[in-house]
A = this chain, B = another copy of it.
């Protein structure tokens, strides 16, 4: 009997992630993995982001959810190509799911957003082959969360602090969030954003544009 150990499965997953990453390189695509708690505002952030970046870069989206096609429908309503992945019960996306979704998306775009399953724990453990990891973290979750869920924040290239329009109604100060993010996500660019009012969306979009430029300042294949 052949026994496949966990480390072999892990290596197989990493190979698929690497294949995704190579595919992005070959096509000059910057792929961003968006993760965060349920209701952190990941889809609302995309709704604020895509109308600005899609005309210039050509965006595509992979929506990961355990169930329903609601998020996919919200993206499709913007005229952006989207694939809805329903995991059935799985608590995070894996690279093979993303690879399967890529088969269904049109080529030619420069930006791919992968919205992971709403979960601040498990998606952070899995490399799906994306180039940047972004945590969406709402002020209503409270400033203790980066210390309580350290992995996602420690690996983030950027943190979008969402729903900042609600700060006046909470017993919390913006500085409390920025302080803890400085400690727990020291490598991350931090963007206070309200998808509802539009606050901070310009700076967040400018960061994404800079990532595309950084990634592909040399022609694809040489960079």
Q: Which chain A residues in 42-85 approach chain B with CB under 8 Å?
A: 65-68, 70-71
Report if A67-B150 is in contact (Cβ < 8 Å); known contacts: A140-B138, A169-B166: yes
- Judged by a CB distance under 8 angstroms, whether A32 is at the interface is no
- Judged by a CB distance under 8 angstroms, whether A202 is at the interface is no
Within the complex, the shortest CB–CB distance from A76 to chain B, in Å, comes to: 16
Q: Which of B37, B142, B149, B169 contacts A66 (CB 8 A)?
A: B149
Report if A68-B148 is in contact (Cβ < 8 Å); known contacts: A37-B37, A166-B169: yes
Q: Which residues of B contact A187 (CB under 8 A)?
A: none
Bound form: Cα–Cα A67–B142 in Å:
15
Bound form: Cα–Cα A38–B171 in Å:
18
Within the complex, the shortest CB–CB distance from A10 to chain B, in Å, comes to: 14
Tallying the copies of this chain within the complex gives 2
Report if A140-B118 is in contact (Cβ < 8 Å); known contacts: A38-B148, A148-B70: no
Are B166 and A121 in contact, CB atoms less than 8 angstroms apart?
no
Are B138 and A39 in contact, CB atoms less than 8 angstroms apart?
yes
Using an 8 Å CB-CB cutoff, how does the interface string of A83-127 with B read, 1 for contact, 0 for none? 000000101000000000000000000000000011111100100
9 tightest Cβ-Cβ pairs between the two chains A and B: A39-B141, A140-B140, A91-B121, A169-B169, A37-B37, A37-B38, A38-B120, A39-B142, A68-B147
